[in-house]
Structure 1
Amino acid sequence: MEAQFPEHGKNYAGVILHSENHYREYMQGELTETLQKDTIYNVTFYISLADNSHFATKNIDILFTNKKFFLKTKSIIKKRSLDGIKNLKYSLVSIEKEEYYTDKNRWMKIQTYYKSKGGEKYFSIGNFRKVMDIDVMKVNSTFNESFAYYYIDQVSISKKEIEKEEIEIIIPEEKEVFTINKTYIFKNVTFDFDSFKLTEAAKLEIQEVFDYLKNDEHLKIKITGHTDNLGKEDFNQKLSENRAKAVANYLMELGVSEDRVSAKGFGEKEPITTNDTEEGREQNRRVAFEFIEK
């Protein structure tokens, strides 16, 4: 077994996020200053899976509280337990990842954003989820220990710098830049005639948008559906609504909260080109989206 060197400084901490007997550990720390209400903070820390871990997870949570607390438990810290602590105010941020945190040799960076409710002075890192909601997998280990033990280092919680005029979101594969309050048309969200069923190509494109909504919690998305002028106006209106909702529902299935997604249909009322040709009608049959600030 090779020694794990700190990601920064001389030391690091460690917690058990999962075990077969449901035993868990939590790491609590104090912030250098109290968080300000409605301010967005950049939350980062590094983790590395311990060599003797036989399990890995893709779930990790951070709990913000207004005061230090202590609970006598060796398992999950439940909501009702937190609610029972006098004058405790808290906010739980659940961090999701598509892939499992399995690297035992390198430090993996975790980053998310948190909009403060105001008054937070402490944070606790661990696994606050119900057993049925935990994603775990077995990993190779000569020790065969029945837990997921992670080292944690360099926790940083700082104000997120946000440009008031424009926020750029760059998709690495395409080098495409999105800005807030600007309308974009999904390239691959197309539908068969009179249908609002999403294709696999459409889902892949929506997944890219989801990735950025997940990483920037200060953003909301507004989705609009549009049709050509063939058919009755009321039918086109309903069809455009269903197509916009199909995209919105898929985003929520992926994990975007309902309060961050809106969907509206405009039917045939807002064409972007002529409806006199098939090419023009195809362009008018579209679903568009716009990023806006929360």
Structure 2
Amino acid sequence: MYTDDDYREYIQGELMHALEPGVEYTVTFYINLAENSDFVIKDIGFLMSAEQLKVAVFTGLSKKLLKKMGVADYSIHNFDSSAYYDNKTDWVRLEKIFMPRVMRRLLLLEILKRIQKRINAS
């Protein structure tokens, strides 16, 4: 989804095995920008849920929207970053360690949460 100030992509998938409560897990992704990308990104996160989300989202997934959808069993995690992701040649590793409080089976990755700035064309 894209608007003048916002761009979001969502990827949802089911895990082969449910995550057990109280066990530490690591989620790792590698990212880089497309060669022709005009934007950089800063915020990338993921949502763990016990159920599949079936909704067309035209805004960000918020706690308020999830509550309105009737989704009660979820947890939201963000990859910590103080810098923009602007690398078009190398892959950047994102890693988050977390411990679920309840059983989780579905992962929804939210990519490109906010367009932070345009890349200067030179």
TM-score by length of 1: 0.38
Counterpart of 1:61? 45
The alignment status of 1:73 with 2:73, answered yes or no, reads no
Runs of 5+ in structure 2 lacking a partner?
none
- In structure 1, C-alpha distance between the alignment counterparts of 2:63 and 2:103, rounded to whole Å: 19
Q: Which residue identity does 1:27 align to in structure 2?
A: I
- Root mean square deviation of aligned Cα: 2.4
Cα 1:141–1:75 shift into 2, 3 Å: farther
Which has the larger Rg?
1
1:126 to 84, 107, 110: 110
Letter of the 1:117 partner, please give it. R
Cα separation, partners in 2 of 1:82 and 1:70, compared to 1, 3 Å: same
Partner of 1:35: 19
Separation of aligned partners in 2, 1:47 and 1:127: 10
Partner Cα distance (1:78, 1:71) in 2: 13
**Mapped partners of 1:19, 1:97: distance in 2:** 24
Report the Cα distance in structure 2 between the residues aligned to 1:128 and 1:118, rounded to whole angstroms: 27
> Larger relative CO (CA 8 A, sep 6+): 1 or 2?
2
- Alignment match, 2:30: 46
The answer on 1:91 being equivalent to 2:75 is: yes
Equivalent residues in 2 for 1:234-273, closer than 5 Å? none
TM-superposed CA distance for 1:80, in Å, is 1.7
| Structure-2-length-normalised TM-score | 0.84
More strand by share: 2
Determine if contact 1:52/1:141 at 8 Å carries over to the other structure.
Answer: no
Q: Output the CA distance in 2 between the equivalents of 1:136 and 1:23.
A: 10
Distance in 2 (alpha carbons) for counterparts of 1:141 and 1:38: 48
Aligned residues: 122
Is 1:24 equivalent to 2:14 in the alignment? Answer: no
Which structure has greater helix proportion? 1
1:79–1:103 CA distance, 2 compared to 1 (3 A): same
